[in-house]
């Protein structure tokens, strides 16, 4: 297979675009497409400060690198959930991020929030004590990550929070929400989520139109050494089953995932889900942390840690 632009050996063939590219042209293509999506969905400008949530996986590290190369003002945030104990999943994730930074001349700043150090418990412990995650701490994890990302963005004066979600992630979420006709969730799925309240950052997904194999190929070409393993709690998640089904469809008919996702975005833009997003009660600052919340005067995050402390002292 030859590069369509220069005729050298291709490193990737994107069947859905009928486009094969060599190393150099592939890196240029990823950068140009990222820039295009940032503009098309009005994600952010070069005057704004971006905080990218990094996990040590290929998508978030590749995103960080592409945004740095495109000269955006971007720093990283890693939330150490304490999964797997010493030298376990979380430690390995942080190791990959530090290694990524060490090999790059650009002076990017990394914020590290260690959950156990700052709040007194790992994610597993917090889920066990609050009995919110019998087998998996994922719902507690989602709540904590959202809060911490907002907190760091707010305190650090960032305008935008970026995550490395790719097309496979977005199509799987869309598939799940469609299977269950979760209209409210469908109404809120988008490449850009505006800030839900004053002082909160808007959330963006600049890689939402890249297939997972495309971000993996980018990481490989650029020598980004990332953590291959998924979080151990992701095993058996329905999103993984949806990804398998969608990838099978993509194999038989290249372009399926993109069509599914872009068709949805068009329908959404045309107002197909208008009125479906539940009207949220007014946001007020939490009396403990100050972060805007719809849950009265104490946010769900502060309530969670209060329960953790209470259960622990009664044990």
Alpha-carbon 96 to chain mean position: 17
**Residue 141 dihedral angles phi and psi, to the nearest 5°:** -60, -45
Name beta bridge partners: 165.
none
Helix axes of 212-221 and 23-40: crossing angle, nearest 10 degrees: 130
Q: Is residue 234 near ligand Q46 by the rule CB under 6 A?
A: yes
Q: Closest separation between CB of residue 50 and ligand Q46, Å?
A: 20
d(CA 262, CA 8): 32
Q: Is residue 240 near ligand Q46 by the rule CB under 6 A?
A: no
H-helix or E-strand spanning residue 20: strand 19-21
Applying CB under 6 A, the site for ligand Q46 has a residue count of: 9
Looking only at residues 134 through 193 of this chain, which bind ligand Q46 when binding is defined by CB under 6 A? 136-138, 141-142
Q: Closest separation between CB of residue 136 and ligand Q46, Å?
A: 6
Residues 6+ apart with CB under 8 A from 16: 211, 250, 254, 255, 258
Q: For strand 110-114 and strand 192-193, is the pairing parallel, antiparallel, or unpaired?
A: unpaired
Residue 126 contacts residue 145 (beta carbons within 8 Å) = no
Tokens encoding 115: 């959950």
- Window of 11-19, 20-28, 64-72, 106-114 that interacts with Zn ion by CB under 5 A: 20-28
Q: Is 98 helix (H, G, I), strand (E, B) or coil?
A: helix
Interface mask toward ligand Q46 for 192-231; x: CB under 6 A: ---------------------------------------x
Q: Is residue 300 near Zn ion by the rule CB under 5 A?
A: no
Q: Closest separation between CB of residue 42 and ligand Q46, Å?
A: 26
Q: Is residue 299 near Zn ion by the rule CB under 5 A?
A: yes
Instruction: Using the minimum distance from each CB to Zn ion, give the nearer residue, 237 or 288.
Output: 288
**What is the binding site for ligand Q46 (CB under 6 A)?**
123, 136-138, 141-142, 231, 233-234
- Residues forming the site for Zn ion (CB under 5 A): 3, 5-6, 22, 25, 286, 288-289, 299, 302
């Amino acid at each position: 297979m030859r590069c369509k632009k220069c005729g050298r050996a291709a490193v990737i063939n994107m069947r859905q675009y009928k486009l094969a590219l060599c190393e150099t042209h592939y890196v240029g293509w990823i950068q140009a497409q990222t820039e295009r999506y940032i503009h098309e969905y009005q994600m952010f400008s070069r005057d704004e400060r971006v905080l990218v949530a990094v996990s040590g996986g290929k998508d978030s590290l590749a995103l960080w690198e592409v945004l740095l190369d495109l000269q955006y003002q971007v720093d990283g945030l890693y939330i150490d959930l304490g999964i797997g104990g010493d030298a376990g999943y979380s430690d390995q994730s942080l190791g990959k991020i530090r290694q990524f930074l060490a090999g790059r001349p650009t002076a990017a700043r990394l914020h590290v929030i260690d959950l156990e150090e700052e709040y007194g418990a790992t994610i597993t412990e917090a889920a066990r004590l609050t009995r919110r995650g019998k087998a998996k701490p994922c719902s507690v994890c989602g709540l904590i990550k959202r809060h911490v990302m907002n907190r760091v963005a707010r305190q650090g004066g960032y305008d935008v929070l970026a995550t490395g979600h790719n097309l496979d992630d977005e199509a799987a979420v869309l598939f799940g929400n469609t299977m269950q006709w979760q209209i409210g969730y469908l109404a809120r799925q988008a490449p850009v989520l505006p800030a839900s309240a004053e002082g909160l950052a808007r959330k963006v997904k600049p890689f939402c139109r890249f297939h997972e194999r495309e971000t993996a190929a980018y990481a490989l070409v650029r020598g980004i050494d990332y953590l291959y393993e998924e979080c151990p709690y992701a095993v058996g998640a329905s999103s993984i089953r949806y990804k398998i089904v969608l990838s099978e469809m993509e194999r038989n008919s290249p372009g399926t995932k993109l069509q599914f996702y872009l068709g949805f975005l068009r329908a959404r833009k045309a107002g197909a889900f208008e009125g479906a997003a539940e009207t949220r009660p007014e946001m007020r600052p939490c009396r403990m942390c100050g972060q805007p919340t719809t849950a009265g005067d104490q946010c769900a995050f502060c309530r969670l840690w209060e329960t953790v402390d209470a259960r622990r002292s009664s044990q």
